[in-house]
Amino acid sequence: MEASVACIGGTAAYDLLRDGAFLAHRLGPQDTPFGESQPIFACESRFGSFYFLSPSFVNYRANIYALKSLGTRAVFSWSETRAISHNYKIGQFVVVSDLIDETHSRPRTFFENQGLGVVRQWPVFCPSLSNALMTALGDEMCRFSPSGTYVCIEGPRRETPAEVRKYAAFGAELLGMTLSPEVFLAKELQMCYASVAFVAGYAETGSDFRPFENGRILDAEQQAERAAAAVEVLPRVLERLIDVLHRTPGMCACENSMQHHIASGQIGWDWRTWFDEERPVSQNQPPQNPGASFPSDFIPFIRRPAGPTRGFGLRDDYPYEDHIQP
């Protein structure tokens, strides 16, 4: 099976896989120059195939390398988050748009002390894949917000109230322990990466009071039910996402992120050679098409003819003035 899309899910998503929500075949851990990856599953849906990985003890570099070696072009992250801003409701989905990295002991690059990986971090998340996620969520009638700034903390301990106030002053709206360094590593391997998070609760406030919603206390049972409902919709959103990607071409620049290193001769076109102990200076010639800066520019995401849309679900008639679905 060949798939271009991979889903990295949290513990709740893995529970769905274990309970049979996906038709899956276990590929197992993959050997990489950075050690073994977490076990990877090859999954089938009505609209196509995808890979699934649920990191527990995370070898970030091995996981991203393994997905790239399997032919993955884009990674979709699904995880729970705690909201710093009470503008988000429990159970609501958020397509993450920006990131603050507050981790301190995780590997940050594939290319330590090599002068590579100097990659611009805007947009942080692939805009085309994010638009596809919005389309999939909208088609499934999920309530979602099209943007949110996520702060990734080291863990495993929880945040303190003072830290939450600091993050809020930085502009953070969501808090969790995922996304970093995965999104940065995906850029270094020229992969699309986007994230949707569901709000499972609120960040530490220093109070034992339950959260209010519409003037009423939201009890623990309601909160748990909403979080569970957000998890249960994952298989449908994943299927819808695969369908959207079949119908729309990729119009992002993610597959060009290392082009400046290639053009300077530091690395070659074949990404696997980037990890050779002695990298030869690239003798490759630039592509013949002067309008394409990388051989796979503007190839449809899942190799199908481009449809009448302007990217991953970026339809001309999409109601962008109101992304939040009822």
CA torsion angle for 124, 128, 130, 136 (degrees, to 10)?
-170
Enumerate the β-bridge partners of residue 176.
152
Q: How many CA atoms lie within 13 A of 276 on its CB side?
A: 13
- Alpha carbon separation from 246 to 47, 296, 300, 307 (Å, rounded): 8, 17, 8, 9
Rounded distance, CA 158 to CA 115, Å?
35
Using CA atoms in the order 322, 324, 325, 326, what is the torsion angle rounded to 10 degrees?
A: -100
Q: Please state which CATH number belongs to domain 5-258.
A: 3.40.50.1580
Q: What is the pLDDT along the chain (326 residues), one digit of tens a residue?
A: 456 899 998 777 777 777 777 777 888 999 999 999 988 988 887 767 888 886 656 899 999 999 999 999 999 999 889 999 989 999 999 999 999 999 999 999 999 989 899 999 999 999 999 999 999 999 999 999 999 999 999 988 999 999 999 999 999 999 999 999 999 999 999 999 999 999 999 999 888 877 777 777 778 888 888 888 888 888 889 889 988 988 877 778 999 999 999 999 999 999 999 998 665 554 544 444 433 333 344 344 444 333 333 333 333 333 333 344 43
Closest CA to 101 of 10, 172, 197, 194: 172
Q: Select from 80, 66, 71, 79 the least CA-distant residue to 31.
A: 66
CB 59 within 8 A of CB 34: yes
Give the closest residue to 85 by CA, choosing from 154, 146, 149, 178: 149
217: which strand partners? 212
153 contacts 105 by C-beta, under 8 angstroms? no
Cα(195)–Cα(47) distance, rounded to whole angstroms?
Answer: 20
Q: Where are the domains of the chain?
A: 5-258
Token couple for 67: 């997905």
The pTM of this model reads: 0.83
196, 191, 257: which is closest to 4 by C-alpha?
A: 191
Smallest CA-to-CA distance from 149 within 196, 96, 113, 202 is with 96
DSSP code, position 274? G
